[in-house]
Amino acid sequence: MTTLVDSFGRIHKDLRISLTDRCNLRCSYCMPAEGLQWLNQADVLSAGEIVRVARLLVQYGGITSVRLTGGEPTVRADLLEIVEQLSQLGVDLSLTTNGTRLVKLAERLKVAGLNRMNISIDSLQPQRFAELTHRDQCEQVLDGINAAVGAGFSAVKLNVVLMRGINDDEILDFLHFGRKHGVIVRFIEFMPLDAHDKWNETLVVPEREILATAGEVFAFTRGERGSAPSSRFFYNDGVGEFGVISSVSAPFCDSCDRIRLTSDGQLRNCLFATRHLDVKSLLRSDTDNETIIQAIRGEVQKKEAGHNIGNVYFVKPSKSMSQIGG
């Protein structure tokens, strides 16, 4: 068997690898201003370990796309080396970053073999950006977006987490920005995965509200979603598209095809999983490839039907988004 299938028959093709739990920003919806207790470096998977797991999953698990994330993946000194090696696997290779280091890195990442780039930015206003991230680096990220577009990636997407009363007045500004700069803006509903329990339902700006605001100015048509988490909306005048990731108001668990490897080597079958497989221990105990892949298959089979946000059965994972890898 060369696919990873859960007990509902869902085939998993998409691997998210968190390269680090560390970050140089402090987004208010993600972690507290003082940061988190970072992992010891000895507990973080090495480049060689990451590439070994990815290769196994591509060769024997049917994984066809790999996204690197974190924490902030660009704080890792061996990022280019990891990208180079993963690009040899013939997968669709992408990166999610806060964009602060892209002026230096965008071109080099393209040369190393990265295909696509998602950049997170939650305000286009420098002062608000600084309040949201506790760092005055809005211009740096905007320059990073330009550098990514200039480097010629097959797609550059912007991730925007919307929070009611905080940045939801920028929906139209972001859409104008996306059309002007040739990038796909994706609005993300705020999820209960922050490290410091700031989440509550009233802060979530649901997809229907986002579409109502967009519709005041733009005409657009809903497109096919497939297994992607984002609903896609194409402007009727042909100038690009935007998306909404409605994990809270309209979960897409039925079509989710993702598994995750955390920076400390936990294989998680869902962003909201409350269990994991300790792949790091297998890697560090001379376990053979066949045993590792069988253990991963078993973990995928245990995936739950859905995440239950918003109902009484929801259990928040003990790790936050930045620690699991968003």
Name the DSSP letter for residue 15. E
Segment interacting with ligand SAM, rule: CB under 6 A, options 36-44, 133-141, 162-170, 188-196: 188-196
274 φ, ψ to 5°?
-105, 5
User: Taking CB under 6 A as the criterion, which residues in 126-185 touch ligand SAM?
Assistant: 159, 161
Which helix (H) or strand (E) segment holds residue 11: the answer is strand 11-12
* Site membership for ligand SAM, residue 70 (CB under 6 A): yes
Residue 262 binds which entry of ligand SAM, ligand SF4, none, CB below 5-8 Å type-dependent: none
* Site membership for ligand SAM, residue 36 (CB under 6 A): no
Residue with smaller CB distance to ligand SAM, 97 or 231: 97
* Site membership for ligand SF4, residue 26 (CB under 6 A): yes
Q: Minimum distance between the CB of residue 74 and ligand SF4, rounded to whole angstroms? A: 10
Binding mask 29-48 for ligand SF4 (x = CB under 6 A): -xx-----------------
Question: What is the token pair recorded at 91?
Answer: 């997968």
Which residues does residue 93 pair with via DSSP β-bridges, in sequence order? 66
Residue with smaller CB distance to ligand SAM, 31 or 283: 31
* Site membership for ligand SAM, residue 29 (CB under 6 A): yes
The count of C-alpha atoms lying within 13 angstroms of the C-alpha of 229, restricted to the half-sphere facing its C-beta, is 19
Residue with smaller CB distance to ligand SF4, 26 or 176: 26
Do residues 14 and 256 touch, judged by C-beta distance below 8 A? no
User: Taking CB under 6 A as the criterion, which residues in 302-321 touch ligand SAM?
Assistant: 321
Size of the site for ligand SAM (CB under 6 A): 20
Which helix (H) or strand (E) segment holds residue 94: the answer is strand 92-97
Distance CA 84, CA 103 (A): 19
Torsion of the alpha carbons at 259, 264, 266 and 271, rounded to the nearest 10: -50
Measured distance between the N- and C-terminal CA atoms of the chain, rounded to whole angstroms: 28
Closest by CA to 271, choosing from 252, 292, 298, is 252
Measured at the alpha carbon of residue 97, what is the angle toward residues 214 and 153, in degrees to the nearest 5? 80
Residue with smaller CB distance to ligand SAM, 26 or 297: 26
Looking at beta carbons, which residue is closest to ligand SAM?
326
User: Roughly what angle, to the nearest 10 degrees, separates helices 79-87 and 102-112?
Assistant: 30
Segment interacting with ligand SAM, rule: CB under 6 A, options 78-86, 95-103, 278-286, 295-303: 95-103
* Site membership for ligand SF4, residue 194 (CB under 6 A): no
- String of b and e for 28-57 (b: at least 16 CB within 10 Å)? bbbbeeeebeebeeeebbebebbbbbbbbb
Binding mask 52-71 for ligand SF4 (x = CB under 6 A): ------------------xx
By CB under 6 A, name the binding residues for ligand SAM: 23, 29-30, 69-70, 72, 96-98, 120, 159, 161, 188, 190-191, 193-194, 321-322, 326
By CB under 6 A, name the binding residues for ligand SF4: 23, 25-27, 30-31, 70-72, 98, 120, 322
